[in-house]
Amino acid sequence: MQQLNLSLKESIVAAWEAAWDRGEVDALDTILHPEFTRERAASDKVLTAAQLKAEILEIRQAFPDLSTNVDSVLVDEEAGSVAIFWRTKGTFTNDLSGVPATGNSVETRGSNLAVLRDGKIYSEQVTWDQSELLKDVGVPSLKSAFEPAPEGLVIDDLSGIPGREELKGFNRQFITGVTVVTTIDQEGKPRGLAANSYVSVSLEPPLVLVCVQKTTSTYSSLFKSTHLGINIMSNEQRSTIGVFASKGDDKFAGLQWHEGPGGSPLIDGSAASIEAEIKERFQAKTHTVFIAKVKHSEVAELQPMIYKAGRFFDSAELPELD
């Protein structure tokens, strides 16, 4: 009886290390049942053996120095179950599922509870998956943004949830300022994009929020940066905002700017500029929400530009409502 347990434990450890440490994912075939499924305890996501292998290879591509250690394997033959306790570490070197690599190192722990059938792992529940890995490396997700769409054909949507055009109509009624978010890429080149999704989160501590679409040319550089600049455009910068709303390669050509203390480009002629240290990056499907702590600020005696429904306005003379 004890020898059987020892053999199974050895097989699990050997297959686990071959797959996760060396990318030899077919080694899992020695311990997984043909009808194997894997489910994360905190969600309804279920993987087959083939999908698990693909995920392991994807993670190893992003973390090429990944190494694991199986701390303990507890086999309960009577209940037909196995508990596996493990820890892993690696460096986020290459992009993972559209998330730019940060170069951060991660060390994390987890556990798997498996059900045995015919001497192999038939199913398992895990405390950890790819989203947990990104969270551990400093890139958590806004979970509600990843709720699955309803399956099957929907004839009439009676959910009451506004459609895309309705939401766009709502957003067009909201008047905002106009900002240019800036950073320095890994080659020391200034990067920037126009954004009106800026929010002051708190004054104590001084936190700000900006939301950036993942398809923008500045996104990868911004994601990998430690600091960012936020420049509130003045009434005199209409041509400047046109440049940063475009897809030009060198948006800073001919532009006057200076560096903040952390190196972020701060644009001359702005109504106000801040530099902030990036503290959190939350994945929200098509966008990433950046939370940053303000480290430096500059305010000029200039009036800010206003944006509404796709048009820009001069804010110098706004009549006050009684």
Write the pLDDT tens digit of every residue in 187-200. Answer: 999 999 998 889 99
**Cα(284)–Cα(290) distance, rounded to whole angstroms?**
11
Across the range 145-165, mean pLDDT stands at 56
* Lowest-pLDDT choice from 22-31, 96-105, 130-139, 148-157: 148-157
pLDDT bracket for residue 81 (50, 70, 90): very high
Amino acid at site 130: Q
Residue with tokens 């929020």: 209
Residues in the chain: 322
The DSSP secondary structure of 251-311, one letter per residue, reads TTTT--EEE-TTS-EEETT-SEEEEEEEEEEEEETTEEEEEEEEEEEEE-S-PBEEEETTE
In angstroms, the Cα distances linking 70 to 2, 51, 85, 211, 261 are 19, 22, 6, 39, 45
pLDDT bracket for residue 3 (50, 70, 90): very low
**Cα angle: 158, vertex 162, 166; to 5 degrees:** 135
Across the range 279-300, mean pLDDT stands at 90
* Lowest-pLDDT choice from 43-47, 81-85, 87-91, 302-306: 43-47
Look at residue 202 and tell me whether its pLDDT is greater than 60.
yes
**Cα(236)–Cα(3) distance, rounded to whole angstroms?**
80
Helices and strands (H and E) in the chain: how many: 6, 18
- What confidence tens digit (pLDDT) does each residue in 108-145 have? 888 899 999 988 999 999 877 666 677 766 666 655 44
Residue 310: partners with Cβ closer than 8 Å, 6 or more residues away: 172
